[in-house]
Amino acid sequence: MDEEVAKGNRPTTTFTKTSWNYMRSQLIASAGYNYSHDQLKNKFNKLRQMYKDFKKILSDMTGNGWDPLLGTINLEEEQWNELFKVNKRAKKFRKSGCPHYEKLVRIFGDTTATGVNACPSTRLISDSEDENENDVASNTNVGVEENNKGKKCKEKE
């Protein structure tokens, strides 16, 4: 995936059809197992979630516990416990961190929405200002606020 991004084969938030086919054929050749297209896309989505989770941990951290060379977070026991109180997903990164975080940044960093205006693909964006008046007022990211003013995620019907 990282190589395909470097080649410019991810023009939007996902890869081109040719890239998906190429990555699948390379994975099949190296692993010796016939992975389906859906399995590859599921892995892509899991990696995106891992990137978002680890990025959130780094943004919640105060001080310097991040070791970019090892991809780990070095915190004292008490600091980990405090982090777990605000971010339950942090537990999976305690022992091994996120060793491929730099690659995940290259793959997802410019395409993944995070924060109050992030809306998963399983939801629609509503244009109703009434539904979202309070959410927009409390938004601290002014640039995103102006672009998404009055929009709110809602369940697909």
For the stretch 121-156, pLDDT in tens is 444 444 444 444 444 333 333 333 334 444 444 444
Amino acid at 84: F
Q: Which tens digits make up the pLDDT trace of 64-83?
A: 678 888 888 888 888 888 88
Look at 114 and 21; give whichever has higher pLDDT: 21
Q: Is the pLDDT of residue 1 over 70?
A: yes
Kind plus residue range of the DSSP H or E element containing 4: helix 2-6
C-alpha 79/C-alpha 128 separation (Å) is: 41
Task: Give the global pTM.
Answer: 0.66
- What is the pLDDT, as a whole number, of residue 64? 67
The first and second tokens of residue 77, run together, are 């026991």
- What percentage of the chain has pLDDT greater than the value 70? 68
